[in-house]
């Protein structure tokens, strides 16, 4: 192989420097969620657990009192809504 052929092959296989630069839309890390997403997820888990604890505090038979039927499920539902928000929130 002559020098001319080697130079021609080398020129066609090089990548221009502009193609190597990362784009502006590239994520900074490989994680799907950011720090605030994880914080909201932990808050949501805490609210869900609090709702289940509230349901166990009901003194009525089979948990048919206000705490077991009304307040606890509302708190659990709010916790799941926080979880949904944490999942759908875009990473900052």
| pLDDT tens column, 35-61 | 999 999 999 999 999 999 999 999 999
CB 82 within 8 Å of CB 43: yes
- Going from N- to C-terminal start, the domains of the chain cover 30-92
Check residue 30 and give its pLDDT: 85
51 is written with which tokens?
Answer: 């709702």
Residue with tokens 């926080």: 82
CA gap 49, 63 in Å, rounded: 17
Per-residue pLDDT at 13 exceeds 80 = no
Spatial CB neighbours of 56, under 8 Å, sequence gap ≥ 6: 63
pLDDT exceeds 90 at position 15: no
Q: What is the pLDDT of residues 75-92, one digit of tens each?
A: 999 999 999 999 999 986
pLDDT exceeds cutoff 60 at 20: no
């Amino acid at each position: 192989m002559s020098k001319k052929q080697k130079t021609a092959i080398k020129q066609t296989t090089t990548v221009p420097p502009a193609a190597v630069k990362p784009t502006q839309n590239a994520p900074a890390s490989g994680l799907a969620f950011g720090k605030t997403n994880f914080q909201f997820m932990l808050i949501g888990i805490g609210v869900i657990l609090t709702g289940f604890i509230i349901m166990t505090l009901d003194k009525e038979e089979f948990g048919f009192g206000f705490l077991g039927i009304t307040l606890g499920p509302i708190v659990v539902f709010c916790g799941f809504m926080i979880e949904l928000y944490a999942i759908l929130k875009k990473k900052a």
